[in-house]
Amino acid sequence: MKKSYSILLMIGILILSSCANMHIRKGDKFYENLSFSKAITHYEKALKKGENVHAERRLARSYVYANEIKKAHKAYNTFIDTESAKSFDYFNYGRVKMGMGEPKAAILYFERYLEVMPDDVVAQMLLSSCKSTSQRFRDTTLYDLEPIITDGFENTFAAQEYEDGVVFSADKEAILSSRKSSWTGNSYLNLYYMEKDADGNWLNPEALKGSINGPFHDGPATFSADGKTVYFTRSNYVGRRLQANEDKESNLKIFKAELVEGKWKNVSPFPYNNDDYSVGHPTITEDGKTMYFVSDMPGGFGGTDIYRAHLKEGKWTKPENIGKEVNTAGNEMFPYIHDDGSLYFSSTAHNSMGGLDVFITYEHGDHWAYPENLNYPINTFADDFAFQLDDNGLNGFVSSSRSDKDGMYEFKKNDPTFQLYGFAHIKGEKTPVEDVTVEITDDETGEVIKMKSGPDGKFKLKLEPNKEYLLLCTKEGCFARTDNIVTKDLKYSHDFYADFLVEEIVVDKPIELENIYYDFDKSYIREDAAKELEKLVKLLKDNPSITIEMGSHTDSRGSDNYNMVLSDKRAMAAVEYLVAQGIERTRLTWKGYGESKPVNECTNGVPCSEEKHQDNRRTEFKVTEIKVIKIED
């Protein structure tokens, strides 16, 4: 009986093993044909029969390619920290960790991968991104996003303004296997149009009419300015049959259609379509003369690159790669050219937060500016793509997988916010000063806002973007202070901080100017001294009612008479510098004090270091008169 039981048990194990191997073979076949949804089904069944590192690895990778990040994370966790993990698994798992919102945890795996593949530029970029993700949250107030709810669809993306609404790409849950995408397991993509009602609610979408939606993928799309021509991405098929090249690859192509009596007809291919590589994601300039699109054609910089072609005499020119400033060894996708010439696109490289991020660049002469990440909340740790902006640059659409599947979001673009925080306190102390008068003048309009510091010495004001302000702080009997605050050309919200140092004006009280030093036996103004004298120039301009005396001192080396002459030359040199900077000569006098007033023990015959001697080679000023200035109305 025991022997019979053992035989039956062995037969059962063999059956299970054979069944598992069958599912692995089928999974491999679908995996190699890029049919990831079907591959996932077979790998999952195989792993229910027992452990298999090959199946675990390919299941994890299939989840990544199907963009099921949470499932990919769970699958990788079964083997990523074992000897079974390979270098590419580390790269994939790093991306998965970024997609899970764990960039710091991703660092370890990118570093492991780079130990084996040190020249991988994409991995280097992603590692750098993981170490600087805080920059992606530098200003989270610039955009307000709202999801666009479209019931009945699985994935929706690439909303494009058209007439009074939008056209977008979408798939649905597939009922018939013949209409199921082997990559996603959903239906094939179609193009839909929808509008808003009077209350701003989105109405039910309708499929575009005519010959534009076929039996396989169609979309995304871009439209001519008059709305009568569309360029769109489509699977490579003839009739109801996908076409494949010698490598069994079915690539994407760009097609054109024309609006005839409310239906899209006259579908024709882009002349640079090719069975051996994909072209897709077209975007057209407002004048219709330039098309940007993506392709993995030979000669690029990595996965998919952005190309452009020009329409001349009715024919498209040979596509040109727009260059390494934009294109990387990763994937650049979903270009969008705005009317102002800005190029928006998504990339898996550059300084991405994870997956695809949206970037902006501009063309300057013969090159493109380094792409700038649009940051959170446009970008997240998930895929963010298909950015589109209205003519006014205030509203638009972006697509994202941040809610576990691709969805569309409409956004409102906000101006950056600027806040001024001021603190009036006694110079050299933190003692607050109340009732300091603060005047803030708009340089363009002349409008003046007045306020006073509170008992805590503080004052606060919200500033407007694209402005230049003059800040004037005054307190009776004290030096006035001014400052310039500029919000022009600032893209991100910013807080400005202004310290008003309250210092009483005391006639004939010497005030030392810090760091106004002279070389030994010289009277010329050194470069470092000039920077400090600029502060005095500003003080004199802020306080036009005062006249001052510049006083200069020497060290004890040299004769008393010589030092007196030298110090007089130094004081005069300081005065001449102030005059050269626009200060009236009538407000200035000078006097040399020689070595008569040292600040330390370094008098005649006392050995001292050069540093101590230099302390005595100083310059001071003192207020000699406060004039009453009559201000006419």
Measured between alpha carbons, how far is 408 from 406 in angstroms, rounded to an integer? 7
* Mean pLDDT calculated for residue range 174-187: 75
pLDDT for res 176? 64
Return contacts of 438-443, CB within 8 angstroms, 24+ apart: 438/471, 438/472, 438/473, 438/500, 439/471, 439/472, 439/473, 439/474, 440/469, 440/470, 440/471, 440/472, 440/485, 441/469, 441/470, 441/472, 442/467, 442/468, 442/469, 443/467, 443/468, 443/469, 443/470
12-26, 458-472, 539-553: least confident range: 12-26
Strand, coil or helix: 384? strand
Q: Is 327 exposed, middle or buried (0-12, 13-18, 19+ CB in 10 A)?
A: buried
Structure-derived torsion over alpha carbons of residues 245, 248, 254, 259, reported in degrees to the nearest 10? 100
Among positive and negative, which fits the CA dihedral 290, 291, 292, 297?
negative
CATH number, domain 143-413, options 3.30.365.10, 2.40.30.10, 3.40.50.920, 2.120.10.30 = 2.120.10.30
Write down the domain spans for the chain. Answer: 16-137, 143-413, 418-502, 511-626
Query: Taking residues 447-476, what's their average pLDDT?
Result: 94
Q: In 10 A of CB 502, how many CB atoms?
A: 23
* Backbone phi and psi for residue 29, each to the nearest 5 degrees, phi listed first: -60, -45
| Helix or strand run (H / E) with residue 39 | helix 36-49
- Phi/psi at 357 (nearest 5 deg)? -120, 155
Averaged confidence pLDDT in the chain: 89
What the block records as the tokens of 524 is: 């010329």
Residue type for position 307: Y
Average pLDDT over residues 477-501: 92
For residue 364, the cross-strand partners are 367
Give residue 629's pLDDT. Answer: 54
Give me the residues paired with residue 155 across strands.
Answer: 171
pTM greater than 0.85 = no
| Mean pLDDT, range 77-99, rounded to an integer | 92
> Tell me, what's the pLDDT at 2?
46
Cβ of 467: how many Cβ atoms within 10 Å? 16
* Helices (H) then strands (E): counts for the chain: 10, 36
Cis peptide before 544, with omega less than 30 degrees from 0?
Answer: no
Q: In terms of DSSP bridges, do strands 367-368 and 395-400 run parallel, antiparallel, or are they unpaired?
A: unpaired
pLDDT digits 0-9 by tens, 310-367: 999 999 999 999 999 999 999 999 999 999 999 999 999 999 998 899 999 999 888 9
* H or E stretch at 88: helix 87-99
pLDDT of residue 518: 63
Phi–psi pair at 366, nearest 5 degrees? -105, 15
Instruction: Specify the CATH architecture of the domain 511-626.
Output: 2-Layer Sandwich (3.30)
Maximum Cα interatomic distance, the chain, rounded to a whole number of Å: 125
Percent share of the chain, pLDDT over 90 = 65
pLDDT average, residue stretch 231-241: 86
Has residue 526 got a pLDDT over 50? yes
Question: Are 16-137 and 511-626 equal in CATH topology?
Answer: no
* Percentage of residues in the chain having pLDDT higher than 70: 94
User: What pLDDT shows up at residue 16?
Assistant: 45
Task: Return contacts of 16-19, CB within 8 angstroms, 24+ apart.
Answer: 16/49, 16/50, 17/49, 17/50, 19/49
Predicted confidence (pLDDT) per residue in 121-159, tens digit:
889 999 999 999 889 999 999 999 999 999 999 999 999
Domain 16-137 coded CATH 1.25.40.10: yes
Does 18 or 476 have the greater pLDDT score?
476
* Closest residue by Cα to residue 129 from 350, 391, 280, 384: 350
d(CA 509, CA 88): 73
Q: Which two tokens stand for residue 158?
A: 């690439």
Beta bridge partners of 347: 332, 357
| Domain 418-502: assigned CATH number | 2.60.40.10
